[in-house]
Amino acid sequence: MDELVLASWSDRFWAWLIDVLLMGLIWHRVVLVLGIDPMHLDAMLMLSGLIFVYWTALEGYRGQSLGKMLLNIVVVGPYGEAIGFRDSALQSFGKAFLLPVDCLIGLFAFRGKRQRLFNKLSDTVVKKQVI
């Protein structure tokens, strides 16, 4: 098994930003077609829901979203094992719907393992992928 080298917060941020921009582009097209005000609460919840499904599906299937693939990082269990859809859904919920709280608690409470709150709750970590 590969050595468990945790991903940096900056790699995780850039992967998150790539994913959010990609999903934001798709969401924007949907909002335009449906004629929904993008600043309306329903539209914002639609974006969060889209991102949640995207992360749950990709990270539950292969441990990586497109952003994570580009940054060579992967979500795994505490010993480097693959995660399933349940763990993926739990850890994705925090970053899709409660990101500020999720990150702040993680930064201060779980500093050593570089975990967000919902990483801790789902027993997952993000590691550098050995190529």
Chain segment 14-31, per-residue pLDDT in tens:
999 999 999 999 999 999
- How does the average pLDDT of the chain come out, rounded? 94
pTM (predicted TM-score): 0.91
Q: State the Cα–Cα distance between residues 58 and 61, nearest whole angstrom.
A: 5
Residue 1 has pLDDT above 70, yes or no: no
Supply the DSSP symbol for 40: S
pLDDT of res. 2:
60
Q: State the Cα–Cα distance between residues 29 and 126, nearest whole angstrom.
A: 31
Q: Residue 45 burial by CB count (10 A; 0-12/13-18/19+): exposed, middle or buried?
A: exposed
pLDDT of res. 15:
98
pLDDT of res. 113:
83
Cβ atoms of 8 and 127 within 8 Å: the answer is: no
Work out the average pLDDT over 42-64: 96
- The H-or-E segment that residue 75 falls in is strand 73-76
pLDDT of res. 6:
95
Work out the average pLDDT over 81-94: 97
Supply the DSSP symbol for 110: S
Q: State the Cα–Cα distance between residues 112 and 118, nearest whole angstrom.
A: 15
